[in-house]
């Protein structure tokens, strides 16, 4: 997949228009919903595309999306981020990890259970194969329990996925670490 392909909007310069809802941003116009869904964004719900907050932030930052509230007022990046932070204290770290992975050309989908932040598809594999990686996003200086890490690793091993720890450093850069099982034997 060409990393730049993701940055093009469905119709040369047109922007999708979304409505801020409790759990993300909804896009109703079918041509945009279908085009974004085909590129691995959002989840279709009753012919509408529901974007997660980090997806909407990414598209807003790429100038591919305009967001309004229910009163028709335009929502800017900072306001959307504030809404997201009201639901997730790690909103900024999640967005930065998502943005970094997308900018590298990966399709990134919402994670599931055991603290897994994202599922990541190998370049060109989205809609053809299952995700290859599970991403556990953490911030430098914020501890994560060994039990939480063990749960995420157990889940990734049971799903035959590679667990990757995405650590957001203090400068806002993401560093990735592969996590694998360690077997210690007593001698």
Q: pLDDT averaged over consecutive 10-residue blocks of the chain (187 residues)?
A: 41 78 90 88 90 96 94 94 90 90 92 81 83 89 88 89 90 89 65
How is domain 91-179 classified at the architecture level of CATH? 3-Layer(aba) Sandwich (3.40)
- All CATH 3.40.1350.150 domain ranges of the chain, comma separated, are 91-179
Phi, psi dihedral angles at 155 (to 5 degrees): -65, -45
- pTM of the entire predicted model: 0.83
Per-residue confidence (pLDDT) for residue 184, from 0 to 100: 55
> In this structure, how many other beta carbons lie within 10 angstroms of the beta carbon of residue 23?
10
Per-residue confidence (pLDDT) for residue 182, from 0 to 100: 67
Class of domain 3-85: alpha beta
Q: State the virtual CA torsion across 107, 144, 25, 174 in degrees, nearest 10.
A: -50
């Amino acid at each position: 997949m060409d990393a730049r392909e993701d940055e093009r909007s469905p119709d040369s310069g047109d922007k999708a228009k979304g409505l801020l809802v409790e759990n993300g941003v909804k896009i109703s116009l079918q041509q945009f919903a279908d085009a974004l869904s085909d590129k691995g964004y959002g989840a279709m719900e009753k012919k509408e595309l529901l974007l997660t907050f980090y997806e909407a932030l990414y598209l807003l930052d790429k100038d591919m999306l305009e967001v309004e509230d229910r009163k028709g007022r335009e929502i800017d990046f900072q306001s959307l981020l504030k809404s997201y932070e009201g639901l997730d204290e790690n909103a900024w770290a999640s967005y930065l990890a998502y943005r970094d992975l997308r900018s590298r050309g990966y399709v990134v989908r919402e994670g599931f259970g055991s603290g897994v932040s994202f599922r990541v598809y190998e370049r060109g594999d989205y809609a053809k194969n299952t995700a290859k990686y599970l991403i556990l996003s953490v911030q430098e200086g914020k501890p994560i329990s060994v039990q939480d890490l063990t749960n995420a690793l157990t889940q990734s091993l049971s799903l035959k996925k590679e667990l990757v720890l995405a650590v957001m450093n203090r400068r806002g850069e993401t560093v990735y670490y592969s996590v694998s099982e360690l077997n210690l034997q007593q001698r």
